[in-house]
């Protein structure tokens, strides 16, 4: 692809997926051009269906071109990127490693107006190389795409809140995020309990790494439990605050994953997550892989909203 060439991306307009034509801009010295091959659907994308903005934030592909000032990337490398697209790198927050809190007007996140960004479901993206992430050798493309958001979100609490291998950790909500969080907690060395509102996912949760499984819809489910040091809620519905607080140990923490996790991970968190996941062979459960077309993408959104996705959809160019 060359500057000015056309390709298709997808926007959320009026609650629907709409195919839109995009054009490659001139590659800046600090940018890489990535041809997206695999993109995963995250429930956060549903909130962008009325935005008029480009869709998709879990994606990987191959580097096709590199700018003259880039370092560490070569044509052919497998790369992805998270929701953090750009920061000034010189303000106090950036220099402390908290580049997601950059105070400069240069900061760009998924969902902000940004020239040259076509969303994870577009076929191409230009990205500042300092905010792109090289995918570890041996990690499959579908898993890597999912980890660009889901992985960073589930890894965040363990990295940021001082969770130790001797802690008792409960994961509530065994879905797109929760099934990965179970694997992270087990690999971290914790005692892991899965909390769910039915028995439907008991077998899956134990396979993903839970030592025990508790159905929170049973009356008195919290009685007699040894307290947890951390309860991590990945539910997309209102959590059972009273029930969760009652099973916390003194000085224990209730972490709402999309808030206390890393919904937008720093570059450091993202890089460490990929290294950790590759070392421990953490693998997301993929419900279905399908070609990336407007029809398939709309169908995937519809099924996700109906709760018909067990656990992740992946779309491929």
Which of 69-73, 116-120, 175-179, 194-198 has the least mean pLDDT?
Answer: 116-120
Q: What is the pLDDT of residues 92-104, one digit of tens each?
A: 999 999 999 998 9
More confident residue, 257 or 314: 314
Fold of 153-260: Rossmann fold (3.40.50)
Which residue bears the tokens 């990929």? 274
Contacts of 295 (CB under 8 A, 6+ apart): none
pLDDT higher than 90, residue 257: no
More confident residue, 8 or 273: 273
- pLDDT score of 108: 85
CB 177 within 8 A of CB 150: yes
153-260 and 6-134+285-316 share a CATH fold: no
Q: What's the per-residue H, E or C state across 56-103?
A: CCCEEEEEEEECCCCCCCCCCCEEEECCEEECCCCCHHHHCCCHHHCC
Task: Please report which confidence band the pLDDT of residue 113 belongs to, taking 50, 70 and 90 as the band edges.
Answer: low
Average pLDDT of the segment spanning 245-258: 91
Which of 97-111, 135-149, 150-164 has the least mean pLDDT?
Answer: 97-111
pLDDT higher than 80, residue 240: no
pLDDT higher than 80, residue 259: no
Q: What is the pLDDT of residues 177-227, one digit of tens each?
A: 999 999 999 999 999 999 999 999 999 999 999 999 999 999 999 998 999
- pLDDT score of 115: 53
- pLDDT score of 44: 85
Q: What is the pLDDT of residues 36-50, one digit of tens each?
A: 999 999 988 888 898
Domain boundaries, the chain: 6-134+285-316, 153-260
b/e sequence 110-140, b meaning 16+ C-beta within 10 Å? bbeeeebbbbbbbbbbbbbbbbbbbbeeebe
Class of domain 6-134+285-316: alpha beta
Average pLDDT of the segment spanning 147-156: 93
For 71, counting Cβ atoms within 10 Å of its Cβ (0-12 exposed, 13-18 middle, 19+ buried), the class is exposed
More confident residue, 31 or 114: 31
- pLDDT score of 22: 86
Average pLDDT of the segment spanning 153-178: 94
CB 310 within 8 A of CB 288: no
- pLDDT score of 164: 97
């Amino acid at each position: 692809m060359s500057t000015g060439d056309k390709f298709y991306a997808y926007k959320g307009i009026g609650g629907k997926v709409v195919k839109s034509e995009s054009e490659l801009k001139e590659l800046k010295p600090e940018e890489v051009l990535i041809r997206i091959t695999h993109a995963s659907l995250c429930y956060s994308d549903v909130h962008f269906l009325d935005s008029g903005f480009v869709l998709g934030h879990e994606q990987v592909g191959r580097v096709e071109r590199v700018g003259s000032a880039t370092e560490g990337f070569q044509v052919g490398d497998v790369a992805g990127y998270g929701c953090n697209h750009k920061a000034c790198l010189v303000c106090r927050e950036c220099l402390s490693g908290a580049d997601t809190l950059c105070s400069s007007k240069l900061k760009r996140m998924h969902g902000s107006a940004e020239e040259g960004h076509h969303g994870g479901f577009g076929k191409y993206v230009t990205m500042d190389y300092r905010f792109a992430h090289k995918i570890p050798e041996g990690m499959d493309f579908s898993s890597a795409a999912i980890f660009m958001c889901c992985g960073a979100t589930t890894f965040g609490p363990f990295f940021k809140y001082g969770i130790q291998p001797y802690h008792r950790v409960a994961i509530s909500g065994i879905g797109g995020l929760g099934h990965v969080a179970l694997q992270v907690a087990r690999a971290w060395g914790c005692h892991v309990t899965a909390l769910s509102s039915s028995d439907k996912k008991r077998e899956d949760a134990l396979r993903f790494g839970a030592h025990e499984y508790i159905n929170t819809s049973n009356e008195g489910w919290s009685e007699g439990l040894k307290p947890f040091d951390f309860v991590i809620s990945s539910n997309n519905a209102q959590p059972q605050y009273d029930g969760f607080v009652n099973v916390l140990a003194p000085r224990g923490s209730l972490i709402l994953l999309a808030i206390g996790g890393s919904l937008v991970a720093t570059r450091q968190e993202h890089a460490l997550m990929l290294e950790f996941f590759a070392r421990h062979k953490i693998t997301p459960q993929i419900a279905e892989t399908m070609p990336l077309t407007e029809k398939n993408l709309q169908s995937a959104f519809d099924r996700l909203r109906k709760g018909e996705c067990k656990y992740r959809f992946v779309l491929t160019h």
